[in-house]
A and B are shown apart, each in its own frame.
Chain A
Amino acid sequence: MVVKRKRKERIDRGIKARSDDIFALTSFREMLYVAVPPVLPVLLLLVLPLVLPLYWKKVLISAAVFALLAMSWDFIAAVGMVSLGQALFFGMGAYTTGVLDHYAGLPIWLSIPLATVIGGFLSAILLLPVIRLRGVYFSMVTLVLPLMIERIIEATALFGGTEGITGIQSFPNQWVEVYLVLVVLLLCLFGFRRLMTSDYGLVLKAVSDNDRAVMSAGINIYWSKAQALFIAGSVGSFCGAYLTHVYMFVGMPAFALDYSILPLASAVVGGMGTFAGSVMGAMILVPLSEALRGVGGLRTVIYAISLVVFIVALPEGIFHYIQRKYHQFERWVEVEG
């Protein structure tokens, strides 16, 4: 007697194989297949501010900032540096723009770009002494550094001490405010994705893969890592500078643990190594956290549980999961046995 069993198969959509080569696109439908994944989310992101109420517009801004921090985290993680201290980058940018605004009286369109570059530079300089540390040792230092700076500001009353600096310029209007961060988000997303497939990005990734081989190939891995820290630090510093002008205030909370942990969670939940995953993660986790505000005391618990659920259910990250589903379909086939 023949027993019929069913087996699940996973098959690449025919177009998947072909779309790797741009010339293979033969129909409008196939072009859509390739164009929809990047274009649709971009349009959605750009339309959202037009339809969201003010409160949720602020949540979108916050999510965009955490998405940028998450991409910054993902970038240096790809170079083998697991940071537990994105708050360092954030705080550096926040205080730099605060100082440039308050003490030097620079206009906002100068203080933000300057803070982005100076903050990135300072972040890289601060981490330079530990750039040779590997794995968990590097992570520990990044975790401690922002907390240490917080205490130093408190103890020395530097830049307003516990009071911080108030009365910082705001954006001319809410449209500039929201679209600036969204445009920077998109630039970083596509910029990072492009960078990592370039030869430069390839070398950076190789550093985390096998640093001895990269060194023996004549490449100064510490210089590469320093450059990566500068790039990631600049992105993080932009976030700090930007939010400082949104809040019109900078203070010790700029170095708070939130700015370290939430980006990491976003990147992991969304899917590491893709940057799009970081954005997705932040766009889910930040609004979720806001929506839970109504719940009261159990908010953190629910939040933590949903984090765990995401990670257990989709260990590859949301982005990788969706990508896989988009390019493959599954079907049941009968097997005889």
Chain B
Amino acid sequence: MVETSQTESPQPLLRVKELSKSFGGVRAVVAVSFDLYPGELLGVIGPNGSGKTTLVNLITGLVKPDAGLVEYQGRNITGWMPYRVARLGIARTFQMVRPFAALPAFKNLIIPLFSPRVRSLSGGKYGDRDSVAKDLLEEVGFERDSSVTYKPAGSLPHGYLKRLELAKCLALRPDLIILDELFSGLSIAELAGILPIIEKLLVGGTTIIMIEHRLRELFRIANRVVVLNYGRVIAQGKPADVMEQPDVKEAYLGTE
């Protein structure tokens, strides 16, 4: 079903070509290339320190690449500032959730809701940001009118922080979202709550890159996966095929 999307749409949404970045002597990302097609969910997996977060930072502009190319909708966005990338409709979550601790949970969403992207998408008006924020929180599983919505974000339990992180992303009404280990630290029950949200986004046509250690959950929803090891792509393809490759077994499964 979804796998046909690759052959049908000639134009990738995101194209990463030979992207490289070193920190001092550490080659964090080495000549990474992949294409991402509209509506796809691409999984990025690999052991700790294999360069996954750096790859996200390179795409979203928080880190400038040493070499290589990032193209979004055919436009070269290599090295753009993060806010310009975000304005194009690429939103990301952070692996290390660091909310605006003193603000009530829903007020955390005011920041993306204040962005020029949201204003132009709403026809030049911002509208009632507080109520939009509360709707977004409900969308990611905050109970409507629960006190959690109004609590300082710094006091929220981990599961809520992760969902708040996702809501911040969604506030931008993105076309592409990049989730950096969104599932980490979540209980099975919490996962069961958040997975349908991701699936709903996919059905709605959002393209997703998902960095994930929880392979079982990832493989259920991913169309393709890219496997990184020491900054290099060692395999990419359908989840089941990739896991059969000896390189991957050795580098990734060997450590699990």
Contact, CB under 8 Å: B91 / A219: no
Roughly how many angstroms separate A199 CA and B128 CA in the complex, as a whole number? 11
Q: Contacting A216 at CB < 8 Å: which of B82, B114, B129?
A: B82
Contact, CB under 8 Å: B114 / A203: yes
B105-123: CB near A (< 8 Å → 1, else 0) gives 0010011101111100000
With a CB–CB cut-off of 8 A, which chain A residues contact B82? 212, 215-216
With a CB–CB cut-off of 8 A, which chain B residues contact A209? 100-102
Roughly how many angstroms separate A213 CA and B101 CA in the complex, as a whole number? 13
Roughly how many angstroms separate A218 CA and B119 CA in the complex, as a whole number? 11
CB distance from A80 to the nearest CB of B (A): 13
Contact, CB under 8 Å: B116 / A216: no
CB distance from A254 to the nearest CB of B (A): 36
Contact, CB under 8 Å: A199 / B114: yes
Contact, CB under 8 Å: B111 / A214: yes
Closest to A216 in B: B82
Contact, CB under 8 Å: B62 / A215: yes
Contact, CB under 8 Å: A202 / B115: no
Contact, CB under 8 Å: A219 / B115: yes
Contact, CB under 8 Å: A216 / B60: yes
* Contacts A202-B110, A218-B83; A212 near B168 (Cβ below 8 A): no
B29 near A: Cβ within 8 Å? Answer: no
With a CB–CB cut-off of 8 A, which chain B residues contact A314? none
Contact, CB under 8 Å: B86 / A215: yes
B74-89: CB near A (< 8 Å → 1, else 0) gives 0000000111101100
A239 near B: Cβ within 8 Å? Answer: no
B163 near A: Cβ within 8 Å? Answer: no
Roughly how many angstroms separate A213 CA and B114 CA in the complex, as a whole number? 13
With a CB–CB cut-off of 8 A, which chain B residues contact A202? 103, 107, 110-111
* Contacts A199-B129, A202-B103, A210-B98; A217 near B62 (Cβ below 8 A): no
With a CB–CB cut-off of 8 A, which chain A residues contact B98? 210, 213
Roughly how many angstroms separate A219 CA and B87 CA in the complex, as a whole number? 8
B233 near A: Cβ within 8 Å? Answer: no
A166 near B: Cβ within 8 Å? Answer: no
Q: Contacting B118 at CB < 8 Å: which of A218, A220, A221?
A: A218
B206-244: CB near A (< 8 Å → 1, else 0) gives 000000000000000000000000000000000000000
B34 near A: Cβ within 8 Å? Answer: no
Contact, CB under 8 Å: A219 / B81: no
B94 near A: Cβ within 8 Å? Answer: yes
CB distance from A31 to the nearest CB of B (A): 26
* Contacts A199-B129, A210-B100; A220 near B81 (Cβ below 8 A): yes
With a CB–CB cut-off of 8 A, which chain A residues contact B62? 212, 215-216
Roughly how many angstroms separate A200 CA and B110 CA in the complex, as a whole number? 9
A206 near B: Cβ within 8 Å? Answer: yes
B21 near A: Cβ within 8 Å? Answer: no
Q: Contacting A221 at CB < 8 Å: which of B83, B92, B110?
A: B83
Roughly how many angstroms separate A202 CA and B133 CA in the complex, as a whole number? 14
Contact, CB under 8 Å: B114 / A219: yes
CB distance from A217 to the nearest CB of B (A): 4
How many chain B residues touch A (Cβ–Cβ < 8 Å)?
A: 30
Closest to B103 in A: A202
CB distance from B91 to the nearest CB of A (A): 7
CB distance from A50 to the nearest CB of B (A): 41
With a CB–CB cut-off of 8 A, which chain A residues contact B84? 220
CB distance from A316 to the nearest CB of B (A): 16
* Contacts A202-B103, A213-B98; A220 near B83 (Cβ below 8 A): yes
Roughly how many angstroms separate A218 CA and B61 CA in the complex, as a whole number? 11
Roughly how many angstroms separate A212 CA and B115 CA in the complex, as a whole number? 14
* Contacts A209-B100, A213-B94; A199 near B110 (Cβ below 8 A): yes
With a CB–CB cut-off of 8 A, which chain B residues contact A210? 98, 100
Contact, CB under 8 Å: B100 / A218: no
CB distance from A20 to the nearest CB of B (A): 12
A118-151: CB near B (< 8 Å → 1, else 0) gives 0000000000000000000000000000000000
Interface residues of B in 113-150 (CB under 8 A from A): 114-118, 129
With a CB–CB cut-off of 8 A, which chain B residues contact A200? 114
Roughly how many angstroms separate A218 CA and B117 CA in the complex, as a whole number? 7
A179-215: CB near B (< 8 Å → 1, else 0) gives 0000000000000000000011011001001101111
* Contacts A212-B62, A215-B82; A206 near B100 (Cβ below 8 A): yes
Roughly how many angstroms separate A203 CA and B110 CA in the complex, as a whole number? 8
Roughly how many angstroms separate A214 CA and B101 CA in the complex, as a whole number? 14
Interface residues of B in 173-229 (CB under 8 A from A): none
Besides A210-B98, A218-B87, 10 new A-B residue pairs in contact (Cβ under 8 A), listed by A number:
A200-B114, A202-B110, A202-B111, A206-B111, A212-B62, A213-B94, A213-B168, A215-B81, A217-B111, A217-B115
Listed by A's residue number, 27 A-B pairs whose Cβ atoms lie within 8 Å are A202-B107, A203-B111, A209-B100, A210-B98, A212-B82, A213-B94, A213-B168, A215-B61, A215-B62, A216-B60, A216-B62, A216-B86, A216-B91, A216-B92, A216-B94, A217-B112, A217-B115, A217-B168, A218-B87, A218-B117, A218-B118, A218-B172, A219-B83, A219-B111, A219-B114, A219-B116, A221-B83
Give the 7 A-B residue pairs with the shortest CB-CB distance, closest first: A218-B115, A218-B86, A217-B112, A215-B82, A220-B83, A217-B111, A218-B117
